[in-house]
Structure 1
Amino acid sequence: MTNLPGILVVDDEPRSVEALLRILEDDFEVFTATSARQAEDILAREWIQVLLCDQRMPEMSGIAFCARVREQWPAVVRIIISGYTDSSDIIDAINEGGIYQYITKPWHPEELTLKIKNAVELFQLQRENEQLGIELRLKPDSLEQSVAERRRVLQERFDWDLGIVRGADSVMNQVCFRVRQVAPFDVNVVIQGETGTGKELCARALHYNSLRKNAPFVAENCGAVPDDLLASELFGHKRGAFTGANEDRTGLFEIADGGTIFLDEIGDVSPAFQVKLLRVLQEGEIRPLGSNTRRRVNVRVICATNRDLEQEVAAGRFREDLFYRLANFVIHLPALRHRPGDIEPLAHAILHEQMALLGKSVKGFTREALDQFRQYSWPGNVRELQNEIKRMLVLAQHNELSADLISSKLLLNASADDELVLQELMSVCGHSGTLKDRIEQVEAQILKETLVRLRWNKTRAAEELGLSRVGLRGKLERYGLEKNGAQLVTAESQVNR
């Protein structure tokens, strides 16, 4: 019996199943099936939270199977994975199978793992929402009070200046200052930063500290979504506008009227859709697909991207006029690897949050575990740190989270930088000779690099290296370093002279 979330992988190709199993088994309890019948047996007896299903299978399509799962196990979060990107397939998957996400091949292991972790969180939120609905039905008179309290909590949670965890000299101090400056003003904002740096958190902070804080905040991920589907999501559609449009749908721009719409991965939208979005921003109107009627909307647009939009404009991949419509103000979020002083306070804050969510308490981290955190580059940024700590807490059997709970991937990557340094060191000093001779090789190389960089200014070189001019001169003579040609004689040859 394990405390890891249950994931069911369904694919008729055994190699695909094995590949997914290797990627996911560290973070999830993975069940596998090569047919719909096997998958249904597993769903009937196991606690499955997320279904990851291939689209093209001989017995039935992934969409058809997801539709069946939707009827019998509606709480299971359904994900389709496919090498086909036909927009009609994607629309059918959403309408018929009620899928959470449509992932196209080839997929990246880290991104796939992150998406499934997000699906697990969605499953948990759905259960909490069901419980809340039951409580509200039992106590309808408390609904208004609950909504007011929720707004108060949101306001406090997204107080960016007070709520963001950081060290005393963090680079995030300047970011917080910028957010505090721009939040009250009704201007569009572009948030730039790597995946997992907290761009949506920043967007919510801008909304909940603005004059629109009591109006809706809605979000849409624009990455890798076909234009027709994205237009339907943002602008809405009329029944019969396209195959699978069985009823009218209100778009997110209209839902957000008076509030804020957050468009994530805006740098990934196609040039054709950029034109549609520009028209909406210029005219303040949207037209649902299949409708001849335009509707006025008043929204603040906040966008996020992991790309440099100015470079995208220069390269001709992003419209300049749209950029200036969106980027009244640009906020850059630094990667976690550029915030080494924030890692420890962030880890403690995340652990406190996860203990409350999981109902499990520990005293904290061992120093070795925190040191490993600081050595890792965190390509997934704060989101990856959060997932790692949650995993450690689930697996913990003692009062402290120790380094042996850290996932093997993180430990291997944490030592990668040390391995690179060692390789570079060995390339300089070689693989033979006494320890003294090999250390002198490294010293000679450092002297040469410093002098060349400082254009043979020996005074500056001596100051930088912490040597006297006489000491520097002696070392240059010892290693045969001269300005003309910058001759470098090996330490071993110098010792034997």
Structure 2
Amino acid sequence: MTSLPTVLIVDDEPRSIESLERILEDCFDIKSATSVEKAEEILEREWVQVILCDQRMPQVSGVEFLKSVRERWPEVVRMIISGYTDAEDIIRSINEAGIYQYVMKPWQPESLILTLKNAVHLFDLQRQNELLAVELKMSSERAESVIETRRRELKQHYQRDDGIVRDSDSPMNEVCDRISRIAPYDVSVLITGESGTGKELVARALHYNSLRWDKPFVVENCAAMPSELLESELFGHKRGAFTGAVEDHIGLFERADGGTVFLDEIGEVSPAFQVKLLRVLQEGEIRPVGRRQTRKVDIRVLAATNKDLESEVRAGRFREDLYYRLSTVSIHIPPLRDRRIDVPIISRMLLEKAQKQLGKRVRGLSDEAITCLTAYHWPGNVRELQNELQQALVMAPEDREIGADLLSPRILRAAPGDEGEEIDFIGALDGTLRERVESVEARIIRETLIRNRWNKSRAAKELGLSRVGLRSKLERYGLEKVEALDAEARRKIAS
């Protein structure tokens, strides 16, 4: 239960105190004192936010008392209550004692309660301001320390294993070896590969293994905005350079001075922007939009694309000189279907990451789920795998294993040993018409059984078959062996 704010009433008339207490006790924690001495004792032991003090008291006036309070407890909000309306007296009280409010008698209960609530709010604001002032004194050094620590952690991470999760026999080993050879040299690198293969991850590995590791690493998706906005985002602009430019803007190239800029989807930029980008690479200088003067920048440019830029150059859609500037060295990332050996370890890593993001825990992936994930050809690569695992995690019961029944039908249709053909492309299947039909039928039966956790009765009902008919097809297609292997895997996990 939240405690009420504390208000100290100081008045030599007990009946006046009682009257105020009846009005205020529902909204405030009331402390009272009939003399200055008792009031000071309360202030020394209690956390008081507001003092409501009568002006006319014997020996010491309210203003004189609040002047001493201002010196000893300056954070307490001070208020005077009086039946006298002398303007000079009011002004002197405000100036000498720092009075927040001068409450005149007779007072209205609702008005007095509102005034005291405002005073409590002022007290809270003063405390927050003090904390912020202290925080600001420490923020600069603390921010520098946090940034430096984070950069060192990233450097250690990318130096240890390039930040790229893979199997010990993965085809990515060759890519990672190439990264380690290229990273120390201050040259432009063109990273190619299909969407979702992890081109930004490779760019980060290059940066954090370079001599620029302690400087900024900034990313810009060149396909995400038109050329005019992209130019402003990268080069900056002057206030009033175009509609909406209400203030000067420092571009990413200037912010990353001394560090690395990663330009993703570089194949999507317009011919006009290609010319401006070429100048940055050749001269090492930028010109913000709306300015005549150029500015020198020291940056390393890494670029990525899922297009064949050599074909784009031949077609006249990409400048040849810019292509050679960007691709001093090139790195190609193989698609996930060409390194299926990595699917199990990547899947477990992505699932662990998803559990932290969504705040939900499960007991990992079943062997059957791993088999299905490995068999699928992943046209969307690691990004598609990440989305699949997230949706499976959302649908999975808490503290249970994610089984193959939670995977999407398109993944269940991919039989082990597939070389990437979609089941919908029946024309890609080999053999006679009967053999092709049977291949499709076997996949449909297997998918249905997996979704129904190998419950033959439910699967037969869904497929419109009898149990005898389903068993016959299981024998014909060798699916009983698959079921036996899956059952053995489940028994091992259970034990």
Question: What TM-score does the superposition give when structure 1 sets the normalisation length?
Answer: 0.56
Structure 1 letter corresponding to 2:172? M
Tell me, yes or no, if the aligned pair for 1:264 and 1:304 is still in contact at 8 Å. yes
Structure 1 residues 413 and 316: CA distance shift in structure 2, 3 A: farther
**TM-superposed deviation, 1:349:** 1.7
**TM-superposed deviation, 1:352:** 2.3
Structure 2 letter corresponding to 1:234? L
Quote the residue 1:341 is aligned against: 341
Quote the residue 2:319 is aligned against: 319
Tell me, yes or no, if the aligned pair for 1:309 and 1:318 is still in contact at 8 Å. yes
Structure 2 letter corresponding to 1:365? L
Which of 432, 444, 466 is residue 428 of structure 1 equivalent to? 432
**TM-superposed deviation, 1:224:** 5.5
**TM-superposed deviation, 1:174:** 0.4
Q: Tell me, what secondary structure is at the counterpart of 2:191?
A: strand
Alignment partners' CA distance in 2, 1:175 and 1:336: 13
Q: Tell me, what secondary structure is at the counterpart of 1:180?
A: helix
Quote the residue 2:401 is aligned against: 400
Alignment partners' CA distance in 2, 1:304 and 1:378: 20
Alignment partners' CA distance in 2, 1:305 and 1:260: 17
Quote the residue 1:244 is aligned against: 244
Q: Counterparts in 2 of 1:134-145, with a 5 A limit? A: 140=139, 142-145=142-145
Structure 2 letter corresponding to 1:319? R
Q: 1:205 aligned to 2:193?
A: no
Structure 1 residues 162 and 250: CA distance shift in structure 2, 3 A: closer
Structure 1 residues 237 and 408: CA distance shift in structure 2, 3 A: same
Alignment partners' CA distance in 1, 2:322 and 2:193: 19
Instruction: Give the structure with higher Rg (CA).
Output: 2
Alignment partners' CA distance in 1, 2:226 and 2:360: 42
Worse overlay, 254-263 or 158-167? 158-167
Tell me, yes or no, if the aligned pair for 2:216 and 2:257 is still in contact at 8 Å. yes
Structure 1 letter corresponding to 2:262? F
Tell me, yes or no, if the aligned pair for 1:192 and 1:306 is still in contact at 8 Å. yes
Q: 1:194 aligned to 2:194?
A: yes
Tell me, yes or no, if the aligned pair for 2:413 and 2:423 is still in contact at 8 Å. no
**TM-superposed deviation, 1:407:** 2.9
Q: Tell me, what secondary structure is at the counterpart of 2:331?
A: strand
Structure 2 letter corresponding to 1:287? R
Alignment partners' CA distance in 1, 2:310 and 2:160: 26
Structure 2 letter corresponding to 1:406? L
Alignment partners' CA distance in 2, 1:431 and 1:205: 48
Q: Tell me, what secondary structure is at the counterpart of 2:219?
A: strand
Tell me, yes or no, if the aligned pair for 2:259 and 2:298 is still in contact at 8 Å. yes
**TM-superposed deviation, 1:378:** 1.1
Alignment partners' CA distance in 1, 2:201 and 2:422: 33
Q: 1:300 aligned to 2:300?
A: yes
**TM-superposed deviation, 1:308:** 1.4
Quote the residue 1:464 is aligned against: none
Which runs of no fewer than 5 residues in structure 2 stay unpaired? Answer: 1-131, 439-495
**TM-superposed deviation, 1:157:** 3.1
Q: Deviations over 1:22-72 (max 9, x none)?
A: xxxxxxxxxxxxxxxxxxxxxxxxxxxxxxxxxxxxxxxxxxxxxxxxxxx
Q: Tell me, what secondary structure is at the counterpart of 2:218?
A: strand
Q: 1:279 aligned to 2:279?
A: yes
Tell me, yes or no, if the aligned pair for 1:160 and 1:180 is still in contact at 8 Å. no
Quote the residue 2:230 is aligned against: 230
**TM-superposed deviation, 1:155:** 1.4
Q: 1:182 aligned to 2:189?
A: no
Aligned residues: 302
RMSD: 3.0
Tell me, yes or no, if the aligned pair for 1:221 and 1:263 is still in contact at 8 Å. yes
**TM-superposed deviation, 1:375:** 2.1
Q: Percent identity?
A: 55
Q: Deviations over 1:242-266 (max 9, x none)?
A: 1111111111111111111111100
**TM-superposed deviation, 1:166:** 1.3
Worse overlay, 207-216 or 217-226? 217-226
Quote the residue 1:365 is aligned against: 365
Structure 1 letter corresponding to 2:312? E
**TM-superposed deviation, 1:160:** 7.0
Alignment partners' CA distance in 2, 1:394 and 1:249: 41
Q: Deviations over 1:258-301 (max 9, x none)?
A: 11111110011111111111112111111111111110111000
**TM-superposed deviation, 1:411:** 3.8
**TM-superposed deviation, 1:204:** 0.9
Q: Deviations over 1:197-238 (max 9, x none)?
A: 111111111111111111111111111532211111111111
**TM-superposed deviation, 1:148:** 2.7
Tell me, yes or no, if the aligned pair for 1:136 and 1:142 is still in contact at 8 Å. no
Quote the residue 2:48 is aligned against: none
Alignment partners' CA distance in 2, 1:270 and 1:261: 19
Q: Tell me, what secondary structure is at the counterpart of 1:372?
A: helix
Q: Tell me, what secondary structure is at the counterpart of 1:331?
A: strand
Tell me, yes or no, if the aligned pair for 1:199 and 1:333 is still in contact at 8 Å. yes
Structure 1 residues 308 and 349: CA distance shift in structure 2, 3 A: same
Structure 1 residues 425 and 321: CA distance shift in structure 2, 3 A: closer
Alignment partners' CA distance in 2, 1:136 and 1:381: 45
Which runs of no fewer than 5 residues in structure 1 stay unpaired? Answer: 1-132, 435-497
**TM-superposed deviation, 1:429:** 4.8
Q: Tell me, what secondary structure is at the counterpart of 2:378?
A: coil
Alignment partners' CA distance in 2, 1:211 and 1:342: 30
Structure 2 letter corresponding to 1:211? L
**TM-superposed deviation, 1:163:** 3.0
Q: Tell me, what secondary structure is at the counterpart of 2:330?
A: strand
Structure 1 residues 258 and 418: CA distance shift in structure 2, 3 A: closer
Q: Deviations over 1:291-316 (max 9, x none)?
A: 11110111000000001112211222
**TM-superposed deviation, 1:173:** 0.6
Structure 1 residues 246 and 157: CA distance shift in structure 2, 3 A: same
Structure 1 letter corresponding to 2:403? S
Quote the residue 2:38 is aligned against: none
Structure 1 residues 405 and 431: CA distance shift in structure 2, 3 A: closer
Structure 1 letter corresponding to 2:191? I
Alignment partners' CA distance in 2, 1:201 and 1:422: 36
Quote the residue 1:168 is aligned against: 168
Alignment partners' CA distance in 2, 1:424 and 1:310: 30
Quote the residue 2:150 is aligned against: 150
Alignment partners' CA distance in 2, 1:234 and 1:388: 34
Quote the residue 2:96 is aligned against: none
